Amino acid sequence: MPALVAGFRKEIPMKLAAFAAAAVLVSLLPEIASAQAVEDPVVNACKNTGLLALQERSPDITDLVMDMESLAISKADTKVEDVAIKTVILGEAYIARKEKTGKPDRFVCLLGDKGKVLLTFFTAQ
């Protein structure tokens, strides 16, 4: 019987260590998944509207790539005159011209009620 108890005591720390390692890995999964997750609908709305606006001015623009790590998405509860601003997005985006992407541009996107894009603004850094 003492041999069984001694073996049992050795198994408990091993099982606890395995459980702790598994718990740490599981806790990291949401962060890993969020980095690879599908873009937020408000980001997609800003991207699509911004791309259309840029293409109106310069037809050689083929794509707009948002730098997801640079984005700051902030909820807002303010107005510009009578227009409600509900979300503000700041960040960097790469403007692709004929499959070539240059340096990132800074952008601002304002969204109103129901996620309607009110303004997209791009400026060189």
45-102, pLDDT tens digit by residue?
999 999 999 999 999 999 999 999 999 999 999 999 999 999 999 999 999 988 788 8
Residue 28 belongs to domain spanning:
1-37
> Do 63 and 107 fall within a single domain?
yes
Do 19 and 47 fall within a single domain?
no
Residue 14 shares a structural domain with residue 46: no
Report d(CA 41, CA 74) in Å as an integer: 14
Task: Tell which residue, 49, 64, 55, 57, has the closest CA to residue 111.
Answer: 49
Residues 32 and 46 in one domain: no
pLDDT beyond 60 at 36? no
Together in a domain, 80 and 26: no
Say yes or no: 26 and 73 in one domain.
Answer: no
10, 46: one domain? no
Instruction: Looking at the structure, tell me whether residues 46 and 105 fall in a common domain.
Output: yes
Per-residue CA distances from 84 to 28, 44, 52, 89, 110 (Å): 37, 20, 23, 15, 10
* Co-location of 27 and 80 in the same domain: no
My answer on whether 66 and 26 are in the same domain is no
Same domain, yes or no: 110 and 63: yes
From 22-26, 37-41, 62-66, 102-106, the region with the lowest mean pLDDT: 22-26
Q: Are residues 54 and 114 in the same domain?
A: yes
Q: Has this prediction a pTM greater than 0.85?
A: no
Checking if the pLDDT of 115 tops 50, the result is yes
As for how many domains the chain has, the answer is: 2
Distance CA 42, CA 102 (A): 24
